[in-house]
Amino acid sequence: MSTTTRRLDGLDAARGLAVVSMLVAHLSPVGGILNVTEYLTAPLFAVVIGLSMGVQLTERRPPAGQFVLDNVQRGLVLVVLGVLLQSIYAQIVVVLPYLGVLVIVLAPVALLLHRMPVLTLGVAGALAVVGPIGADRAREAYPQLVGSWPSWALDVLRWVATGESYRLLSFLPMALGGLALASVLRRVTQPPEVYLVSGVLFGLSVAAYALGRGTADGSAAYSGTTAEVVGATLLSAAAVLASFVLVAVLRRVGAGAVLEPLLATGRLALTAYTLQVLFLALVQVLIGPRRDDSWLILGATTVVVVGGSWLLERLLGTGPLEWVVHRLRPRLPGRQDPATTRGRHAG
């Protein structure tokens, strides 16, 4: 297996890890060590989005117009699907609309910055500082806007700035961190560098959270403070590199088959997310409006999401939503479809 394929499998493993972390964050009945999923899940999705865009731009070099058009379409799909899923199940805050807005905004920014990782990190750091200020100002103005702005505009404002759990202003610097990581990904995913870099990133993440706890703003999960954004970006980057280590180690010892359900979940992440919400909505119909955080529901949902993704990929080769997104993909006239030249492991 080529280095490129291994690297893309590492991205799939990171996406799969994000999905599993999401299930634990949503459904675990206890805290303790499992609380790390509250800090990791959504930031890991954002970092992987930026990293995937960086890999695509660096290694596949798609036409600029096609790249932006693809991601605008992809982002709109995430927004529409997320709104529909939120209407079906209200016990969780569906992250898809926030990620959809991120994809739309990030695409042209990634085109400009993907060859300049130092500048990318500088922009990410600046956004981590000014983003919380912008979110606070937007929240202060929000009550005056209710009644004068249409509901769709208030939704967009929530996705961009005022969201209680998620917001573009927090996700964008995280995604830019992933974009910067893409420029050195080939060099830092090989041992021994991967162990050193992932350890340093994790240590810096812990330091960022610890320093943030000593400030008035704090560094709690979902808070969107500078310390939380920086800590979550570093933690997610470390988790991405750990995913590459996991793939390499298990394949080296001949246990690569153990990875297949996780990889399938990562490759079918949109279908996996949707399976989660639909299954939880069905559980709510069956048991009534009880809290969904229990070991039984967590175990059953994990089997449905991870097992269902693995089975769908084995039977269909892809997920139904991934198939729909590809079929809807807009194409500029006179351009070859890059999808015809790449395998299913695309990042």
- Domain residue limits, the chain: 3-256
List, for residues 240-258, the tens digit of each pLDDT value.
Answer: 999 999 999 999 999 889 9
3-class secondary structure, 167? coil
165 vs 169: CA distance, rounded Å:
12
Question: Cβ(53)–Cβ(181) under 8 Å?
Answer: no
40, 192, 276, 293 from 282: Cα distances, Å: 27, 46, 10, 15
Q: Within 13 Å, how many C-alpha atoms sit on residue 40's CB side?
A: 25
Full-model pTM:
0.92
Per-residue model confidence (pLDDT) at position 7: 47
Per-residue model confidence (pLDDT) at position 344: 36
List, for residues 19-48, the tens digit of each pLDDT value.
Answer: 999 999 999 988 666 788 999 999 999 999
Asked whether the predicted pLDDT for residue 339 surpasses 90, the reply is no
